[in-house]
Structure 1
Amino acid sequence: MTSTAAVTATYASTIARELAHRCSVAEVFVTSLGAVGADEFLVGAQLPRMHAYYGDHAGPLGARYDPLLVMEAARQAAIALTHEFYGVPVESAFIVRTFNGTGSETAAWTVGDLPADLVMKVTVPRKHRRGDRLHGLDMVLDISRGEHHMLTVDGSFSWMTSAQWSALRTGFRDGLGLGDHIAESAPGPRAAAVEVGRESPRNVVIGPPMSDGAGTRAAVVADLSHPSLFDHRLDHVPGSLLIEAARQTALATVGVATRLVCVASTFDAFVELDLPAECRAEITDSGLGAKVVRCEIHQADAVAARIDLEFAEPDAAAATGAAG
């Protein structure tokens, strides 16, 4: 077993974009991968001080790192580790079942004078097998910046060959009465950026929100030309867009000044690009200094994803507090 002292995170360059399933080198945030022991790893990542998508937040939140940016770095790390240390071919397709993040209230979230160098301590508490074949992992990534903890991310995912993916997607679309061809159309109307805490209208991923006594609803808007959310061609709406749609719908409910501190997401079905989808948000807990919003993504009369978000009130923590 390699000693922990012999493995360090480095930041000289990013890992190969193929390992992170990114097309643009600029969208790769992981910088090093190292094995510490059996199913234990140390990963380096660097967050840019400015990013056209993850850094686009109105008001004081624009001076903080977005927790969804850190979760994206964790997603890249998890996939890259499977390729580097578990022999998973880079052309494999991945399915995410759960993806969660819990933030700490530390100074790590403040954007400083230099890019943020992160250290991820990664463990694999469970492996998924079919017979002798490994086809999935559960991972926990404990993420810090310097001496300050930022976020603990955990998730469960599996992978398959391109042929298996094609058969799975064909069967799913056939069940919805859709063909192999994805009908493309222009994105629908979007909410005003100010309603969802954004400055750029291009980063809005929901339609105008509609609120009633039971909660808030908004159409999911998928812009296939978006360079971050659709860094490369996809045949479905990615989970990252669904989580952002949930956040924006929730912000339209609780107010854009609140800070995201926790994410808990479960994905039950694909969300198709050529069928209407809707996010429904409801406040389920409104305790002292925090609010929990439960979101569901609906498509074709079914719930495709469930995303719970916890927000801290603007005055619930000091300016160096966590997430968002």
Structure 2
Amino acid sequence: MSTPSLGLGRMHSPVAPDRNLPLPAPRRAIGTQSRVPKEFVHLRYDDSVLVTDWHRTGAMNFRVTATWRIWTAGRRAAGFAAGAMKAAQMVRQTGLLLAHRSSGAPLTHAVLLRTFDFAFDVERLEAERKPTSLVLDVVCEITKSRGRSISGLRMTMSIHCAGRQVGTAATGFEWIPPGVYRRLRGAHAEAVRDQAPLPAPVPPAQVDCTADVEVVLTPTDTAGRWLLRGDFRNTALFDHPVDHVPGLVMIEAAQQAARLVTAQRTFSRQPHHGFRTYVEFDSPCWIGAQPAAEVRGTTTVRVTGHQNGAKVFTTTLTGPGS
């Protein structure tokens, strides 16, 4: 996911696994500045790795370094340019890195995302218009163990740039063996590799995008309501085949829906998220957004997702007022 100016809340994600496919044996990244092998953050592409190094500063305290990147036009088309997406990816990668490297989470296990909160000063970081070095100071707490082995962590993070705080975050992970995950997912355990033709997206410019591949919403005849769409070609959201819609897609859908109902460009404070269940690929998911009254120069939007008649996702986003 604390400074008063940034705001911080809590995202509850009781059943949001980060992945369910076996990872290849780790190897050093080649041709990048990162010392973190991409396998430790569950990615296929070296240039998608934002975390660069880590070391222990206490028994359960760590310092992680990362780079806030300004992507080239080619990567923009893959969905990497959005500030909220980079913030979410940085928090996600930090949590995965520490789960594997500091707590022994096996690379073959499925990682379950339990909580995920973040608030970043995105506009300040984007204004640099160049790669910017960040420092994430992380405090870990063991939340689950099996015998002497750790199987769950909660992490709180303070993010700094040139000595100034630019963000806060909190996240919690658990990891389970592949067999347990397969039983948990049942008929939906297999990763989806082929995608049927997608419906037409909202015009990209309306959600601060430049290409259809970045847009995760399809318009409907109902105001404030859209059909969720996720293009597998968007490697920022679909780095590798997965068995359910990734949480990052839902976060991006909330951002885009909030822009559509308020004409606001940036929502850098994400004070509450809730993943109630998996969002599956085999049935439509409907996204709704409702802005709240502006209070003290702040705009708040509540976004929900429904699938098969049940609520699967809720989030509240906050940004500067109009």
Residues 191 and 169 (structure 1 numbering): CA distance in 2 closer, same or farther, change over 3 Å? Answer: same
Select the residue among 157, 172, 180 that pairs with 2:173.
Answer: 157
Letter in 2 for 1:230: F
For the 8 Å contact 1:34–1:42, the answer to whether it is kept is yes
3-state SS, counterpart of residue 315 of structure 2: strand
Structure 1 residues 15-24 or 155-164, which shifts more?
155-164
Following superposition, the deviation at residue 31 of structure 1 comes to 0.4
The equivalent position to 2:164 in structure 1, one of 141, 148, 152, is: 148
Structure 2 CA distance for aligned equivalents of residues 43 and 191 of structure 1: 37
Task: Give secondary structure in 2 for the equivalent of 1:19.
Answer: helix
Alpha-carbon separation, structure 1, partners of 2:309 and 2:215: 24
For the pair 1:218 / 2:234, whether they are aligned, the reply is no
CA deviation after TM superposition for structure 1 residue 97, in Å? 2.4
- Per the TM alignment, residue 242 of structure 1 is displaced from its structure 2 partner at its CA by 0.5
Summarize deviations over 1:148-199 as a string: whole Å, max 9, x none: 211101122211111111111116x4xxxxx968574122221011221212
Counterpart in the other structure of 2:49? 28
| Alignment-mate amino acid for residue 227 of structure 1 | T
Q: Distance in 1 between matches of 2:142 and 2:34?
A: 30
CA distance in 1, matches of 2:256, 2:121: 22
1:319 alignment partner in structure 2: none
- Runs of 4 or more, structure 1, over 6 Å off, are none
User: Which residue does the alignment assign to 1:72?
Assistant: 89
- 1:91 alignment partner in structure 2: 108
Structure 1: gaps spanning 5 or more residues: 1-10, 57-65, 174-178, 315-324
Partner of 1:8: none
CA deviation profile, 1:58-98 (whole Å, cap 9, x unmatched): xxxxxxxx133122111101111111011111121112122
Aligned to 1:308: 316
1:3: which partner in 2? Answer: none
Alignment partners' CA distance in 1, 2:169 and 2:190: 35
- Residues 133 and 285 (structure 1), Cα distance of their counterparts in 2 relative to 1, 3 Å cut: farther
TM-score, with structure 2 as normaliser: 0.81
Q: Distance in 1 between matches of 2:258 and 2:95?
A: 27
Give matches, 1:255-270, under 5 Å.
255-270=263-278
Matched, 1:55 2:81: yes
Q: Are the equivalent residues in 1 in contact too, given 2:67–2:133 (CA < 8 A)?
A: yes
Q: Deviations over 1:110-156 (max 9, x none)?
A: 233x4111100001145223565532111111111112211101122
CA RMSD of aligned residues (A): 2.3
**Conserved? CA contact 1:195–1:256, under 8 Å:** no
Percent sequence identity over aligned pairs: 25
Distance across 1 between alignment mates of 2:195 and 2:122: 42
Gaps of 5+ in 2: 1-31
The total of aligned residue pairs comes to 285
Q: CA deviation at 1:285?
A: 4.2
Structure 1 pair 55–180 and aligned structure 2 pair: CA distance change class (3 A): closer
**How far apart are the structure 1 equivalents of 2:267 and 2:309?**
31
Q: In the alignment, does 2:150 pair up with 1:134?
A: yes
Give how far 1:264 is off. 2.4
CA contact (8 A) 2:272 2:316 kept: yes
The residue aligned with 2:202 is: 191
| Inter-partner Cα distance in structure 2 for 1:157 and 1:28 | 19
TM-score, normalised via structure 1 length: 0.81
* Conserved 8 A contact 1:14-1:29: no
Aligned residue in 1 for 2:257: 249
